[in-house]
Structure 1
Amino acid sequence: MNVAAAPPALAARAASVGASPVREILALTARPEVISFAGGLPAPELFDVEGMAEAFGAVLAGEGRAALQYSTTEGDPGLRAATAARLTARGLPTGAGQLLVTTGSQQGLTLLAAALVEPGDTVLVEDPCYLAALQVFGFAGARIVAVPSDADGPDPVALDELVARERPKLFYSVPTFQNPTGRTMTAERRRAVAEVAVRRGLWVVEDDPYGELRYEGESVPWISSYEGAADRTVLLGSYSKIMAPGLRLGWLRAPEALLRACGIAKQAADLHTPTVNQLAAARYLADRDLDAHVAKVRAAYGERRDAMLAGLADALPEGSSWNRPEGGMFLWATLPPGRDATASLKEAVAHDVAYVPGAPFFAGTPDPAALRLCFVTSAPDEIAEGLRRLGRALRG
């Protein structure tokens, strides 16, 4: 009897890039009694279900055959035009031809890695960094180097030195209400990043999924808007946090040659983003006031942020610290020296509350005492109860 040979091994990158700890924690905390500050999930009770149902109904009734058909890789012209108009209104003049519709902005990041990164290329990231970006660059075979960062964002002097020494392909950042820390890069830092990109020859990937979720303070210009940076800056955005994440609609704004390369990569990935979702989103933008809906979401999320800030002093051990994000979905806390947020998570889950340890977000040396808390998914009273449970778990 012949013995079957083993199939070929997985690609090395599949073995070297781990699963998302956030996804694993969400699986562990799926019990309904657990109050989870772990995920990055928008509040479902704030979704405009009625408005989206009307948009889908109108599209299927009026242009159903087109909505259910294949479409162009670049995206629905109406959605691209509406997205360009929103960007222009927010201070970044944009034409529809500068945009590629993606299946969530996460796909935009994957397409950029395919178009720009060769195995062995160096990629710079802020530290800590959005976890899924580390996964994307890891799968691309990049060598990931962390840029030292503080409460105002990446250190531009350190960035300049690293670009000179490491010769990276790109620098990736979430400048506004960053995931995981919630911090916002100052205008001075953004200008300095743009200057480094111009002087050294560097792509800057500016990821902006949270920018419209501001609860206080003044808006800060995109890095893309600074003089000289337009031809070397990519801006990623998403409708997930302001319309509905289940639509999986994002967009990528880039210079012409790179946009074309990302379009070719998208053809290889999925041909195009689902037609019916794009047409429904375009109809929603035409028939509804998305800005009014976003204002409602901002008001609710701002109350939830404040509820979390109000309870942290009693929930976290003495000697802990945390920030006050001006918007977004997350805040960043640090337990006292010697405490390990990963080790403490088991006790928190036993008390029916969860968070995400901060260590996996670091491309450089991790901070074991750090943790990320999402404040938007739960109502204020649930946040208060979750923090009471967290206090019992962490304070003993």
Structure 2
Amino acid sequence: MTPGTLTGSAPATAPVPPLAARAASVGSSPVREILALTERPEVISFAGGLPAPELFDSGGIRAAYDRVLTEEPRRVLQYSTTEGDPALRAAVAGRLADRGLPTDPRALLVTTGSQQALTLLATALLEPGDTVLVEDPTYLAALQCFGFAGARVVPVRCDEDGVDPGALAEAVERERPKLLYLVPTFQNPTGRTLPLARRQEVAEIAARDGLWLLEDDPYGELRFEGASVPWLASLPRAADRTVLLGSFSKVMAPGVRLGWLRAPTALLGACVVAKQSLDLHCSTVDQAAAARYLADSDLDAHLTRVRESYRRRRDALVDGLAAALPDGSTWNRPEGGMFVWARLPEGYDATSLLREAVAHDVAYVPGAPFFAGPPDHAALRLSFTTHTPAEISEGLNRLGPALRTAAG
């Protein structure tokens, strides 16, 4: 008999060690939970930030896969380098140069979507307790990423034009952050674009006070009106401290799961090491097919069709909101991207109203989860990309009665 046990009794079982504190402190995405509510096909959802699937160039993408698997099967089905397919990096560098940002392909790292780029940068830059400044509201998954890194996330006041430079200067002086994270063009969730004058002020603050700038740009090529605004990364005062993130998800297809980051040499090297520890490299065949697609197909012509379709859908949504939302509501009219940001009158709670909306077979995303500071419960995000103008009109016809029923 083993000492300390009774004959016939089961041995004691010790509990397993607990999860890491960061895993317990960072919740799941409320947006993902909302999307689960909208899986019924009859629901018209303005919730997901998804590109329109009927606009994917599936024929061109299929041809690219066929060609690389026919011509180079041994290479594209083998392990590859962490930095990424040289042809793909060269193609990205060429597109950046064409848009005003000369780039050496060696300054690029291919990632599993720009979401992985966020993780790599958090790993390479942030110690637990470091301060990160963010727009308020900001991209929800970035808040999760910084939370997992143990960072202290501090919001910076924004207005209709994005981050307020005066508020940013005060926050930098008060908080001494290591990093400022921005989605300056067609921001998620608000659709706002930071004007050039403010970008220059942001660059000046970063240079003067010594902080990294993380410029997330998944939507920049989806402009359908107005003049383009230069990247922060292209401004002389920010060039040595700006990391630019991009993605093929919104311009090619999210299922390919490819993005990239452009960074100064030392930081890029640290991100390469971090990626090696995560997944060695992105899918070789997916990278090769993406590079082949960019070489063989006219992505710009494809994007022209996408932009025109999105413009019509934006117009259908914005033009129909007056009849759908309660009197006193406000909303913006973005010049591109995928989102409209709306605010219901005081006293309305977009989160509590959502369940009634879903009961009317329509959905949106409440704005509250996007705030790092005190949330605005009256705010909501509406995506216009995944439905035709006729479907958008029908969705708004459902949303109006839902809001009136819940509020009444």
Give me the whole-angstrom Cα distance separating, in 2, the residues matched to 1:108 and 1:96.
16
| TM-score w.r.t. length of structure 1 | 0.99
Give me the whole-angstrom Cα distance separating, in 2, the residues matched to 1:272 and 1:392.
50
Instruction: Kindly indicate whether residue 268 of structure 2 is the aligned counterpart of residue 259 of structure 1.
Output: yes
Amino acid in structure 1 at the alignment position of 2:155: A
Counterparts of 1:274-353 in structure 2, within 5 Å, are 274-353=283-362
Instruction: Kindly indicate whether residue 166 of structure 2 is the aligned counterpart of residue 150 of structure 1.
Output: no
Q: CA deviation at 1:395?
A: 2.1
- The SS at the match of 1:205 is strand
> 1:52 maps to what in 2?
61
Give me the whole-angstrom Cα distance separating, in 2, the residues matched to 1:228 and 1:154.
18
> 1:104 maps to what in 2?
113
> 1:378 maps to what in 2?
387
Q: CA deviation at 1:3?
A: 2.7
Determine which of 148, 161, 164 is the counterpart of 1:139: 148
Q: Deviations over 1:113-153 (max 9, x none)?
A: 00000000100000000000000000000000000000111
Contact 1:345 1:357 in 2 (8 A): yes
Instruction: Kindly indicate whether residue 17 of structure 2 is the aligned counterpart of residue 17 of structure 1.
Output: no
> 2:173 maps to what in 1?
164
Give me the whole-angstrom Cα distance separating, in 1, the residues matched to 2:238 and 2:400.
46
Amino acid in structure 1 at the alignment position of 2:320: G
Instruction: Kindly indicate whether residue 125 of structure 2 is the aligned counterpart of residue 116 of structure 1.
Output: yes
Structure 1 segments unaligned to the other structure (5+ residues): none
Give me the whole-angstrom Cα distance separating, in 2, the residues matched to 1:37 and 1:193.
32
Ranges of 4+ aligned residues in structure 1 off by more than 6 Å: none
Identity over aligned pairs, percent = 72
Instruction: Tell me how large the CA RMSD over aligned residues is.
Output: 0.6
Give me the whole-angstrom Cα distance separating, in 1, the residues matched to 2:27 and 2:176.
26
Give me the whole-angstrom Cα distance separating, in 2, the residues matched to 1:159 and 1:311.
35
Give me the whole-angstrom Cα distance separating, in 2, the residues matched to 1:56 and 1:107.
23
Determine which of 78, 81, 97 is the counterpart of 2:90: 81
Contact 1:163 1:200 in 2 (8 A): yes
Give me the whole-angstrom Cα distance separating, in 1, the residues matched to 2:33 and 2:334.
26
Give me the whole-angstrom Cα distance separating, in 2, the residues matched to 1:280 and 1:272.
15
| TM-score w.r.t. length of structure 2 | 0.96
Contact 1:315 1:395 in 2 (8 A): no
Determine which of 38, 48, 53 is the counterpart of 1:29: 38
The count of aligned residue pairs is 396
**Which is higher, the Rg of structure 1 or of structure 2?**
2
> 1:243 maps to what in 2?
252
- The SS at the match of 1:3 is coil
Q: Deviations over 1:205-226 (max 9, x none)?
A: 0000000001110000001111
Q: CA deviation at 1:183?
A: 0.4
Determine which of 66, 90, 93 is the counterpart of 2:102: 93
Which region of structure 1 is more displaced relative to structure 2, 156-165 or 243-252? 156-165
- The SS at the match of 2:342 is strand
Structure 2 segments unaligned to the other structure (5+ residues): 1-9
Give me the whole-angstrom Cα distance separating, in 2, the residues matched to 1:101 and 1:351.
42
Determine which of 369, 373, 381 is the counterpart of 2:378: 369
